A and B are shown apart, each in its own frame.
Chain A
Amino acid sequence: SQTIHQWPATLVQPVGSPLSLECTVEGTSNPNLYWYRQAAGRGLQLLFYSVGIGQISSEVPQNLSASRPQDRQFILSSKKLLLSDSGFYLCAWRDRGLNTEAFFGQGTRLTVV
C-alpha cells in the first residue's frame, strides 16, 4: 500500500533562519507531488508541484523553493524565513491520470517567531 511521510510535525523557527521540510512517498512510482500551505481559517494554497525528478513548477512567487532529487522525495526550502511564512504546510501525492484522488501527509505546523 502507498504511504506518505512528512516531517517534522511542528516547527518553531526564528525570522531569517533557513527551512527544510521533507516529504517521501512509498509504494508508488512517478507520482505527481504537491506542496500546499494553509493559513489559519483559509483554504489550501498551492505552492509547488512536480511531475518528475527535477521538474518543479511554482504557483506563487515567494522566498520558498522546492526540489525533487528523487522520484518519491519532495523538499520545501527557504534560505531566510519571514513571519508571513507561518502556516500549515501539506505535502500531497497522486497517481498520474485524470481522476485520481490526492493523498496528504500529516502536515507541518510552522511558526516563525
Chain B
Amino acid sequence: GQNIDQPTEMTATEGAIVQINCTYQTSGFNGLFWYQQHAGEAPTFLSYNVLDGLEEKGRFSSFLSRSKGYSYLLLKELQMKDSASYLCVYYASGGSYIPTFGRGTSLIVHP
C-alpha cells in the first residue's frame, strides 16, 4: 500500500455527504476499486472505475482521473452503519493484476 495515499480518519454527521480521496502512483494501471470493511470483518466490494469519470451506485459514487492518479468515493445520506474503513485499491500490473490495498480511511458517522 505504499503507493496509495488516503486520509487516516474522517468524521461526518448522519444524513450528510462525505468525500474520501485517494491518490495513487503506479504503472500499468488496470482499475481502481473501493472496498468497505467493518471492524473485525472482511472487506466487501463497493465500486470500481476503469475509465475517467463518475460511477454512481445508489448512495455511493466513485470518481477517477487517471491522468492525475486520483480517485474519490462519495457517500450520500450517511447512515450510522456507514461507519467503517474504506479501502482504496488498485490492480498492479505484472501479469496477474494483484489487488494492492491502501491503509484505508476510518469513517466515523455521528448522530
Contacts and interface: CB of A to CB of B under 8 A. Distances in A.
A88 B104 CA distance: 15
Nearest to B2: A43
Contacts of B7: none
Interface string A75-113: 000000000000010101010001101111111010000
A interface bracket (residues with beta carbon within 8 Å of B): 20 to 34
B1 interface: yes
Contact of B42 (A32, A45, A107): A107
Contacts of B96: 32, 49, 51, 57
Given A99-B48, A102-B45, A43 B31 contact: no
Interface in B86-111: 87, 89, 91, 95-104
11 contacts: A32-B97, A36-B101, A43-B102, A44-B1, A44-B101, A49-B96, A94-B99, A98-B31, A98-B50, A99-B50, A109-B40
Interface of A: 32, 34, 36, 42-46, 49, 51, 57, 88, 90, 92, 94, 98-99, 101-107, 109
